[in-house]
Amino acid sequence: MRISLGKTRGKIVGAVVMVAAALLIGAVLMLLSGNNPLEAYRALVFGAFSSRQRVSELFVKLVPVMIMGLGVSVAYRAQLWNIGAGGQFLLGAIAATAVGLYVKLPPALLAPLTILAAAAAGGGWALLAGLLKVKFHANEVITTLMLNYIANYFLKFLVYGPMMDPAGQLPQSALLPEGIRLRQIFPGLRANYGLIIMVVALILTALLWRSAVGCRINLIGQGERVATYGGVNVRRVVLLTMFISGGAAGVAGWIETFGLQYRLMENMAGSYGDIATVVALLGALNPYGIAAASVFFAILLVGGAGMQRMTNVPYSIVDVIQGLIIIFVIAGVVGREGRPGKRPGKQSSKLSSKQPSKLSSKEPGRRERDA
Amino acid sequence: MLENIFTANFLISLLASTVRLATPIMTPALGQIYTQRAGILNLGVEGTMIMGAVTGFAAASFTGSLWLGLLGGMLTGMFWSLIMAWLAITMRANQVIAGLGMNILGAGLAAYIYRVIFGVRSLPPRITPFQGLSLPGLSDIPVLGPILFQHNALVYLSFLLVPLTWFILERTTLGLKIKAVGEHPRAADAKGVNVLGIRYAAVLIGGLYAGAAGAFMTIAYLNSFTEAVISGRGYIAVAVVIFARFLPARAMWGALLFGFASALQMRLQALGVDIANQLLLMLPYIMTIIALIIASNKAEFPGAYTIPYSRMER
């Protein structure tokens, strides 16, 4: 399948327009609060690029954002709305740290084992929501979000209780042994070799969409009936999709603990879970689009902190811009291809509304009759 | 330990908290019954509630009137759900993503508004919230009085919404139209029902309820605003609606169940029970998942659930 250049260019222009519109409304909000938006945005760019440390921070943020964005995009292509990347990130971090601290093995064996543990735990946490959907038709948006809260409290429980650093009174785990940590690229700067894992994740995702499995995942996104007619075992692929999606977040959690903090701490996931959704949608679920959107968001995150230090504009404007971008993306997608008048069935985007896949063997064809 | 739990005082305070904590889940759930019966899944309740919470708090602290705070929360809730309605009904966007977007935007905007209005202070601004009413006669009944009749006005108003919601949905033409556009919009359209208009109305009523519940959190439950003031209650309300199979009375019982889980956690913590409080705090979220497991297979979703309507498509 060849994508025409004109269409790709149109999508890129569309994404840029949406980002510009979100930044513009952000500027209006700053004006309303009595701040100078030009100054604020200048502080934002300055805050992101003005020193070696800050550029290194860009990569520190870019790695988890891109890996998690790629991860949720796999689920979103199948119309599985996994919004629990934050919780899956935490489970990955917890499992990897537990293995790293308590399993006694030579570093050469232990290090790969911690990555596997992170991927399995993150994937398993998402798989749980997948199982609940397949078995009980429980809405995955709500279950993945609830699992986020549960993961957060579980992490709190661990760092205040059984995994608390015996050497101190702070809510954090003991430090991981140095032999299994992920190294910094330049000594003294926090950017680390998680960057390579990120590039691998990008390549793997791009390859996934050229593989048979990727094709099946896409088919599920077309609706359960389409997938069944296409000979796809819907349940199995749904579970696999959720596992891949969560596994990516788990690996991001591994990078955060083994490459950055070297221990478990409270609220490690921050707002990465939400941002993963935003970059996946802004990147139109395309791996390269997600990569570009992630770069933009890394700048926004690092620069936003600088902006808050240098001006009176609160950091929460960054969250506002995120939300605006989602709203514009969905309004824009529909504006381009799903407006009333277009026949259904020609929708090429996963983001436009279509009949929900119910993943149910009960009452097939019911929706057909009603629709 | 056990003898501390099975005392009359503990049980009374537990059940009284249950009623109070059920309110901010029941109210948005009742509102979502209108919305979901009309075929729209508004996952943006969480964002609607936090917007209601911040404007309710700001309005109450500037006007000094708690009732104006409530009104502010309700109007904001309606405005916020109007955007959701535009996305879901007019733009026919995917309702799940639209709801998510409204939540992320709401959380960010609420925090922004709060920071801009109140700035950074060492002591967070506080208000005097709605106080418990003592109802002559009723409040003095032993056991039942403290459990049911010493709450603030908003708790009673919320419980009055249960029969009101039932009445509107089951005994008025508006209710009939809401159900018709949710079950079979094409047939409703052929009958001359304004499908889009009714769906807008149903989403706006849902926003009104959710905004009121958001304001409840800051002006009748707590006395200040924090970014974690809603912490998942909007999503829990959506789960309660599915659990309740779209019926108001069942939504009330569902909300009371969640109120009980939250109250149990708080009361046990206050007693200093030997379970880590982080594990107790998980309770309402675990219950939400269990509720979905029990209910989702059985729930009869409206025929046109989450499907946008257009005359030009068949």
Scanning B117-176 for CB atoms below 8 A from A yields none
C-alpha of A191 from chain center? 19
Amino acid at position B140, single letter: D
State the Cα–Cα distance between residues A140 and A75, nearest whole angstrom. Answer: 11
- Determine the distance in angstroms separating the CA of B139 from the nearest CA of chain A, rounded to an integer: 37
Mark residue A81 as left, alpha or beta (left: phi above 0; alpha: psi -120 to 50; beta: remaining): beta
C-alpha–C-alpha distance, residues A217 and A348, integer Å: 15
Closest Cβ–Cβ partner in A145, A322, A326 for B97:
A326
Confidence of residue A367 (pLDDT cuts 50, 70, 90): very low
Taking the C-alpha atoms of residue B241 and residue A139, their distance in angstroms, rounded to an integer, is 12
- Does residue A273 register a pLDDT over 80? yes
Is A365 touching B (CB cutoff 8 A)?
Answer: no
Touching check for A337 and chain B: CB below 8 Å? no
Specify burial of residue A277 (Cβ count, 10 A radius: 0-12, 13-18, 19+): buried
Contacts of B103 in chain A (CB under 8 A): 323
Q: Which of residues 189-208 of B touch A (CB under 8 A)?
A: none
Q: What is the largest CA-CA distance in chain B?
A: 67
Give Cα B143 distance to the centre of its chain: 28
Q: Which two tokens stand for residue A83?
A: 């919004």
CA distance A319 to A308: 13
What's the mean pLDDT in A53-64? 96
- Per DSSP, the three-state class of A172 is strand
Contact call for residues A179 and A107 (beta carbons, < 8 A): yes
Predicted local distance difference test score (pLDDT) of residue A6: 65
For chain A, the residue count is 371
pLDDT at B114: 95
pLDDT tens-place string over residues A78-87: 999 999 999 9
Is pLDDT above 80 for A341? no
Q: How high is the pLDDT of residue B272?
A: 78
| A45 pLDDT above the threshold of 90 | yes
**Mean pLDDT score of chain A, rounded to an integer?**
88
Q: What is the 3-state secondary structure (H, E, C) of B47-98?
A: HHHHHHHHHHHHHHHHHCCHHHHHHHHHHHHHHHHHHHHHHHHHCCECHHHH
What is the set of domains in chain A, with CATH numbers?
12-362 (1.10.3470)
Q: Which of residues 88-117 of B touch A (CB under 8 A)?
A: 91-109, 111-112, 115-116
> Nearest residue on chain A to B280, judged by CA atoms?
A153
B226 touching A (Cβ < 8 Å)? no
Question: Sorting pLDDT into bands at 50, 70 and 90, what band is A3?
Answer: very low
Q: How many helices (H) and strands (E) does chain B have?
A: 14, 0
Q: What is the pLDDT of residues A171-213, one digit of tens each?
A: 999 999 999 999 999 988 999 999 999 999 999 999 999 999 9
pLDDT-derived band at A336 (thresholds 50, 70, 90) equals very low
Q: Yes or no: say if A246 and A125 are a contact pair by the CB < 8 Å rule.
A: yes
- For A352, phi then psi, to 5°, come to -80, 155
Gap between the terminal Cα atoms of chain A: 31
- Sequential pLDDT tens for chain B (314 residues): 566 667 888 889 899 999 999 999 999 999 999 999 999 999 999 999 999 999 999 999 999 999 999 999 999 999 999 999 999 999 998 899 999 999 999 999 999 999 999 988 888 899 999 998 878 878 888 888 888 888 999 999 999 999 999 999 999 999 999 999 999 999 999 999 999 999 999 999 999 999 999 999 999 999 999 999 999 999 999 999 999 999 999 999 999 999 999 999 888 888 877 778 889 899 999 999 999 999 888 778 888 888 889 887 75
